Copies of this chain bind each other. A is one copy, B any other.
């Protein structure tokens, strides 16, 4: 009787990797994590499922439509759609147990029922850091963030990338100065600059209904270019008498100054007045990061400063600054563009192939290698030796040790280096030295 079989498949918009890719993915995640820890961020891990009432307290917007929301019993539940709302809830809930400034990182999956589209994911990893102050938070923190982005992407193997930086207060102050009412709409238009170009932004500003004079001033403003110093200088020269603008310019000047002390090269940090992050809740410094040679990938790390993290949960004023790396999308894009260094990693260093009847010796040598922290697999199945070498090859295991009765008699084993094909007899001590020195 043939058994009924369900076709094994996963949902569209979910990423699932083969182990060889998963190793690369995890390696990127570990690199991000160790960089976050190097700057003093501590881990938290919030539930994937939360009460809808809590998670959607802010309500409205495009995001809410995408939320995976359902009931279990009579509880209204939602899957988290980012790590920022859970952070706001966490800090409010555990306020009295936390030490401020609270530097936390969280790496975890979030869920958005996005329209099905290539390169868009419904389940994806976010890797977030935030520094939360109690009532206030020094502007130097805004300068530390780019240094974390810099060290992280450097260690991820990227050389040419640019952290673009701006300050929302400069934009908002400028719009106030121009007597624009709905600055959010204008922010959104400007934010599209790298996608729709100057002409496109112009069109959008017209649609908003701004006067030609105002539009000209905005266009002129976002075209201010030069070195960071030159841009700061040009902004001063505008001599705009608006408190918010002046405050924002002062903040930006401070951030640019301190970023240098944090050791970020000029080449990697660029003031860019078109960076607005229109859809977000940022109130000061904003960041976006681009790979110079792959601008089409878009921003690979972004974030900013906000005045009040958790107004929906607490009356405590909790300002903060943070960034997020969308790792799933980044990994997907890098793989599509064929720019992941696949030579990076093999987890298993040694495959031991014991000949018929030599399993015990194989196991003992495995014990010894593992006690020296060498990741070792023993091939315990029967079959031809060629097939077993092929197995090592396919799994990218760099060393194969063959153990036969001859080897046992001579207290030596044969070590084959898989890349060169070279096979030499060694004692166990020699073996360990060679593998450890690799």
- A44:B68 contact, CB within 8 angstroms: no
Chain B residues contacting A373 (CB-CB under 8 Å) are 38
- B263:A311 contact, CB within 8 angstroms: no
- A8:B93 contact, CB within 8 angstroms: yes
Instruction: Confirm or deny: A10 has a beta carbon within 8 angstroms of a beta carbon on chain B.
Output: yes
Known: A37-B375, A77-B11, A312-B6. A68 touches B42 (CB 8 A): no
Instruction: Confirm or deny: A19 has a beta carbon within 8 angstroms of a beta carbon on chain B.
Output: yes
- A381:B101 contact, CB within 8 angstroms: yes
Chain B residues contacting A375 (CB-CB under 8 Å) are 37-40
- A123:B39 contact, CB within 8 angstroms: no
Q: Mark A115-157, 1 if CB is under 8 A from B, else 0.
A: 0000000110000000001001110110010010001000000
Give bound CA distance, A262 to B358, whole Å. Answer: 14
- A394:B99 contact, CB within 8 angstroms: yes
Instruction: Confirm or deny: A278 has a beta carbon within 8 angstroms of a beta carbon on chain B.
Output: no
Within 8 A of B (CB), among A1-38: 3, 5-11, 14-19, 22-23, 25-26, 37-38
- A14:B51 contact, CB within 8 angstroms: no
- B5:A22 contact, CB within 8 angstroms: no
Chain B residues contacting A379 (CB-CB under 8 Å) are 101
Chain B residues contacting A122 (CB-CB under 8 Å) are 49
- A43:B22 contact, CB within 8 angstroms: yes
- B381:A11 contact, CB within 8 angstroms: no
Q: Which of B11, B37, B49, B94 contacts A18 (CB 8 A)?
A: B94
Residue from A3, A140, A367 with most neighbouring chain B CB atoms (10 Å): A140
- B380:A144 contact, CB within 8 angstroms: yes
Give bound CA distance, A283 to B216, whole Å. Answer: 77
- A258:B51 contact, CB within 8 angstroms: no
Give the number of residues in A that approach B within 8 Å (Cβ atoms). Answer: 100
- A5:B312 contact, CB within 8 angstroms: yes
Chain B residues contacting A72 (CB-CB under 8 Å) are 68, 113
- A42:B22 contact, CB within 8 angstroms: yes
- B5:A314 contact, CB within 8 angstroms: yes
Closest B-chain residue to A347, C-beta based?
B37
For the complex formed, measure the closest distance between the CB of A131 and the CB atoms of chain B, giving whole angstroms. 9
- B263:A48 contact, CB within 8 angstroms: no
Within 8 A of B (CB), among A64-106: 68, 70-73, 75, 77, 88-90, 92-94, 97-99, 101, 103-104
- A49:B17 contact, CB within 8 angstroms: no
Instruction: Confirm or deny: A50 has a beta carbon within 8 angstroms of a beta carbon on chain B.
Output: yes
Give bound CA distance, A104 to B71, whole Å. Answer: 34
- B18:A97 contact, CB within 8 angstroms: yes
Chain B residues contacting A343 (CB-CB under 8 Å) are none
For the complex formed, measure the closest distance between the CB of A235 and the CB atoms of chain B, giving whole angstroms. 23
Give bound CA distance, A23 to B42, whole Å. Answer: 8
Closest B-chain residue to A75, C-beta based?
B11
Chain B residues contacting A42 (CB-CB under 8 Å) are 19, 22-23, 347-348, 395
- A381:B44 contact, CB within 8 angstroms: no
- A17:B45 contact, CB within 8 angstroms: yes
Instruction: Confirm or deny: A109 has a beta carbon within 8 angstroms of a beta carbon on chain B.
Output: yes
Instruction: Confirm or deny: A285 has a beta carbon within 8 angstroms of a beta carbon on chain B.
Output: no
Chain B residues contacting A409 (CB-CB under 8 Å) are none
For the complex formed, measure the closest distance between the CB of A328 and the CB atoms of chain B, giving whole angstroms. 10
- A313:B8 contact, CB within 8 angstroms: yes
- B39:A377 contact, CB within 8 angstroms: yes
- B348:A40 contact, CB within 8 angstroms: yes
Closest B-chain residue to A89, C-beta based?
B8
Give bound CA distance, A44 to B263, whole Å. Answer: 37
Known: A39-B370, A312-B6. A104 touches B258 (CB 8 A): no
Q: Mark A315-355, 1 if CB is under 8 A from B, else 0.
A: 10000000000000000000000000000000110010000
Q: 9 A–B contact pairs at CB < 8 A?
A: A5-B314, A8-B92, A8-B93, A10-B93, A18-B98, A19-B44, A37-B348, A101-B381, A138-B380
Known: A9-B54, A42-B347. 20 other contacts (CB 8 A): A8-B310, A11-B50, A16-B47, A17-B45, A18-B97, A18-B98, A19-B44, A22-B42, A22-B44, A26-B45, A37-B348, A38-B370, A48-B123, A49-B111, A49-B122, A99-B394, A101-B379, A103-B377, A258-B359, A262-B367
